[in-house]
Chain A
């Protein structure tokens, strides 16, 4: 378990490919405010077993290692354990799989590729940089466990799929793309969205008052897959002249039946 945060921007297939184990060991990382080499912190072994794609397998507790997969465009990273914050930030291709949990900001500003997290993840999944309005612009993030708040903040394209629960403000400022939540939502999903699709297949603590009910749909398509409803379909966020679509499960949210009178 590392004592200080590790800046792991060099841990990507793009940078490792064509390098020997020694060259990889010499790559620079930051441990807190000290420059170190990757070899001082990790054992690096070349695994000559055949693999179709260039693969980096990381074992051990890397929950304090940030930016694994930063800007990667190809290959695979397999984290056998927990990964730190900013996983796959700005990636444009390739795949990252994490057997445990990931920190906040996973998939931040990504443009392509896939991130799959078997455990839970933090806040700001697939989000824009703080202050920026340009969020995730492609690619896929799949989280088997729960995620935190502001998932998909300023998202522009791509898919975020959360099989567990989310916190508040899923899809805040969304400009396009798709967010699917199988579990519960703590509320305020789609706040300030201008376009895109959010599907809440579980219980949601509220629906923003600036969303208007539009229809009841029997099914909704997520990334080519048909999800069984029925869902209330809302349009919003009207406070931002938004044309986003928010699908909320009808059976899991009986309190929303009060909206049905507006559907006549």
Chain B
């Protein structure tokens, strides 16, 4: 393979503490190396910002909900069409793009790694087919295990080590990367038309509580030494007053923290940070959440930023999604996935003129700016729930520019503007901090050691943006900065130039990561599990686990469990 050298750019590599230094990055055989020979191809990054390729810890790009949403919304397709070119395939979709379009659009923005955060184990096969058809990026997916019957039974019976062995098997069977938990207990209750309303509300038929599920899986995660922590979508999502539940969920594993390392990730925190008794009195719980996170180091969060647009909500939280249907009257889909989980899809338009939506817009930014340590709060929109991932450049400039925020503030609902904390927050993230929340911090939280940085040995995934920090302050010239983030000057993936000036110049496919956990306890599937499959699933056990050969480009991450 070839050698490449990125010369003379302003490098932001927080994991190696490089803050805008002018330096060269050398690449050979898809990895970053100390140096290359003079014959290497040169990418002239003079006057430009060089960062590791973008990493997205939570974006719905494949699986049952995503595909059903595509079927649900032909009107989302017709308004956003990408015509086939000599190098790229055609595609459609504004809030839920088709697979090829998804890959191209991420790559054009300089993103190189994306995590699909929600996969019903039953849908794993289809999820991997879609991921295999998503070009340009490395990816992984998280199986939903928080309402998984076997796990609930193990937790009920206090069998933590057995549960750990079982979950290790499940991660392999579904080729998953992390333990995803959505509205723990609530999804199981939804199978009976019910929900849970606090972390101590017992789950029907199992007699355990969401608190026990979160703690049980947190312990399993630690026993298995998984690279990421448990990834939690809290109970009571989207309900006024739910910031209390978010705090309780973070508190309930405080004692399980080890040496200042995170043990829990709360996803799309904006939807869990509502104060108030009802929609009329909705206000921001950002201060309480930020205060807690500033004083604890066992938690990481991602934003779930709202963008004013016509988007599509999709989560595994069936009861919540049904509530959204009742609120909006929009067309809707809802699933109960056998014994595993639930799901729902409802189109949703966020409006500047709505006091509630405008407050939501403000909340995620308040949290991102009030939390002092950027390593704790990562940038996402929970694509497409808060907005399409193509709005990331907008969100990035809101984080680095008070002027950009004020422009939006001046146009939002007056009541929300009065309540917003943003006018009193002057903080603007530096380019270094921006690199943390969009790549370095994301990779660190995920435990992806070769991503999110530009040190020797890292994967050569690089984004070069046409921003010259010496000539123009991106906080002031935020329109230009946004355009620069939207169309990367270069995207380099695995050492190859794949995007130039926001256009795909080399279509490629990335890898699919999954955790291959070695336990000392054997976790072969026993007869009891096989029997349960026969009795309760529509799929025979033999057809359930996914063979490694099924994945286009598998990249197992070897993990040695402590059990």
Chain A: residues with CB nearer than 8 A to chain B?
128-133, 240
Q: How many A-B residue pairs have CB under 8 A?
A: 15
Which 6 A/B pairs are nearest by Cβ-Cβ distance? Answer: A132-B75, A131-B75, A131-B74, A130-B74, A129-B75, A131-B73
Contacts of A131 in B (CB 8 A): 72-76, 331
B78 within 8 A of A: yes
Residue tally, chain B, CB below 8 Å to A: 9
A238 to nearest B CB, angstroms?
14
Q: How far apart sit A240 and B78, CA to CA, in the bound complex (Å)?
A: 27
Contacts of A130 in B (CB 8 A): 74-75
Q: How far apart sit A128 and B331, CA to CA, in the bound complex (Å)?
A: 14
Q: List 15 A-B contacts (CB under 8 A).
A: A128-B75, A129-B74, A129-B75, A129-B78, A130-B74, A130-B75, A131-B72, A131-B73, A131-B74, A131-B75, A131-B76, A131-B331, A132-B75, A133-B330, A240-B329
Residue of A nearest to B74 (CB): A131
A201 to nearest B CB, angstroms?
31
Q: How far apart sit A131 and B331, CA to CA, in the bound complex (Å)?
A: 9
Q: How far apart sit A129 and B74, CA to CA, in the bound complex (Å)?
A: 8
Q: How far apart sit A225 and B331, CA to CA, in the bound complex (Å)?
A: 36
B204 to nearest A CB, angstroms?
31
Residue of A nearest to B330 (CB): A133
B83 to nearest A CB, angstroms?
12
Main secondary structure of the interface of B (DSSP, over half): helix
Q: How far apart sit A240 and B330, CA to CA, in the bound complex (Å)?
A: 12
**Which B residues from 321 to 338 make CB contacts under 8 A with A?**
329-331
Chain B: residues with CB nearer than 8 A to chain A?
72-76, 78, 329-331
Q: A129-B75, A129-B78 are in contact. List 13 more A-B contacts (CB 8 A).
A: A128-B75, A129-B74, A130-B74, A130-B75, A131-B72, A131-B73, A131-B74, A131-B75, A131-B76, A131-B331, A132-B75, A133-B330, A240-B329
Residue of B nearest to A128 (CB): B75
Of B75, B329, B330, chain A has the most CB atoms within 10 Å of the CB of: B75
Of A130, A131, A240, chain B has the most CB atoms within 10 Å of the CB of: A131
Contacts of B78 in A (CB 8 A): 129
A120 to nearest B CB, angstroms?
26
Q: How far apart sit A4 and B233, CA to CA, in the bound complex (Å)?
A: 51
Residue of B nearest to A130 (CB): B74
Q: How far apart sit A55 and B72, CA to CA, in the bound complex (Å)?
A: 40
Q: How far apart sit A196 and B329, CA to CA, in the bound complex (Å)?
A: 19
A240 to nearest B CB, angstroms?
8
B131 to nearest A CB, angstroms?
26
Q: How far apart sit A133 and B331, CA to CA, in the bound complex (Å)?
A: 9
Contacts of A240 in B (CB 8 A): 329
Q: How far apart sit A153 and B76, CA to CA, in the bound complex (Å)?
A: 18
Contacts of A132 in B (CB 8 A): 75
Contacts of B331 in A (CB 8 A): 131
Q: How far apart sit A74 and B179, CA to CA, in the bound complex (Å)?
A: 59
A111 to nearest B CB, angstroms?
16
Contacts of B72 in A (CB 8 A): 131
Q: How far apart sit A259 and B322, CA to CA, in the bound complex (Å)?
A: 36
B346 to nearest A CB, angstroms?
13
Residue of B nearest to A134 (CB): B75
Q: How far apart sit A106 and B73, CA to CA, in the bound complex (Å)?
A: 22
Contacts of B74 in A (CB 8 A): 129-131
Contacts of B329 in A (CB 8 A): 240
Q: How far apart sit A74 and B321, CA to CA, in the bound complex (Å)?
A: 45
Contacts of A133 in B (CB 8 A): 330
Contacts of A129 in B (CB 8 A): 74-75, 78
Q: How far apart sit A130 and B76, CA to CA, in the bound complex (Å)?
A: 10
Residue of B nearest to A132 (CB): B75
A244 to nearest B CB, angstroms?
15
Residue of B nearest to A241 (CB): B329
Q: How far apart sit A130 and B331, CA to CA, in the bound complex (Å)?
A: 12
Q: How far apart sit A132 and B329, CA to CA, in the bound complex (Å)?
A: 13
Residue of A nearest to B71 (CB): A131
A196 to nearest B CB, angstroms?
17
Contacts of B75 in A (CB 8 A): 128-132
Q: How far apart sit A130 and B75, CA to CA, in the bound complex (Å)?
A: 6
Q: How far apart sit A133 and B330, CA to CA, in the bound complex (Å)?
A: 9
B500 to nearest A CB, angstroms?
28
Contacts of B330 in A (CB 8 A): 133
B70 to nearest A CB, angstroms?
11
Q: How far apart sit A132 and B75, CA to CA, in the bound complex (Å)?
A: 5
Of A128, A133, A240, chain B has the most CB atoms within 10 Å of the CB of: A133
Q: How far apart sit A128 and B78, CA to CA, in the bound complex (Å)?
A: 12
Contacts of A128 in B (CB 8 A): 75
B163 to nearest A CB, angstroms?
43
A105 to nearest B CB, angstroms?
13
Q: How far apart sit A132 and B72, CA to CA, in the bound complex (Å)?
A: 10
Contacts of B73 in A (CB 8 A): 131
B85 to nearest A CB, angstroms?
15
B79 to nearest A CB, angstroms?
9
B507 to nearest A CB, angstroms?
22
B30 to nearest A CB, angstroms?
38
Q: How far apart sit A26 and B56, CA to CA, in the bound complex (Å)?
A: 47
Q: How far apart sit A133 and B73, CA to CA, in the bound complex (Å)?
A: 11
Q: How far apart sit A109 and B428, CA to CA, in the bound complex (Å)?
A: 44
Q: How far apart sit A208 and B329, CA to CA, in the bound complex (Å)?
A: 20
Q: How far apart sit A130 and B72, CA to CA, in the bound complex (Å)?
A: 10
A135 to nearest B CB, angstroms?
12
Residue of B nearest to A129 (CB): B75
Residue of A nearest to B76 (CB): A131
Q: How far apart sit A132 and B407, CA to CA, in the bound complex (Å)?
A: 31
Residue of A nearest to B329 (CB): A240
Q: How far apart sit A131 and B345, CA to CA, in the bound complex (Å)?
A: 14
A127 to nearest B CB, angstroms?
12
Residue of A nearest to B72 (CB): A131
A61 to nearest B CB, angstroms?
28
A179 to nearest B CB, angstroms?
22
Q: How far apart sit A133 and B329, CA to CA, in the bound complex (Å)?
A: 11
A239 to nearest B CB, angstroms?
12
Residue of A nearest to B78 (CB): A129
Q: How far apart sit A28 and B331, CA to CA, in the bound complex (Å)?
A: 37
Q: How far apart sit A99 and B76, CA to CA, in the bound complex (Å)?
A: 35
A195 to nearest B CB, angstroms?
14
Q: How far apart sit A128 and B75, CA to CA, in the bound complex (Å)?
A: 9
Q: How far apart sit A133 and B332, CA to CA, in the bound complex (Å)?
A: 13
Q: How far apart sit A128 and B73, CA to CA, in the bound complex (Å)?
A: 13
B290 to nearest A CB, angstroms?
38
Q: How far apart sit A128 and B76, CA to CA, in the bound complex (Å)?
A: 13
A13 to nearest B CB, angstroms?
24
B308 to nearest A CB, angstroms?
18
B171 to nearest A CB, angstroms?
37
Q: How far apart sit A129 and B73, CA to CA, in the bound complex (Å)?
A: 10
Q: How far apart sit A129 and B75, CA to CA, in the bound complex (Å)?
A: 7
Q: How far apart sit A243 and B75, CA to CA, in the bound complex (Å)?
A: 27
B98 to nearest A CB, angstroms?
15
Residue of A nearest to B73 (CB): A131
Q: How far apart sit A113 and B525, CA to CA, in the bound complex (Å)?
A: 68
A28 to nearest B CB, angstroms?
13
Q: How far apart sit A58 and B519, CA to CA, in the bound complex (Å)?
A: 76
Q: How far apart sit A144 and B74, CA to CA, in the bound complex (Å)?
A: 31
B100 to nearest A CB, angstroms?
19
A30 to nearest B CB, angstroms?
12
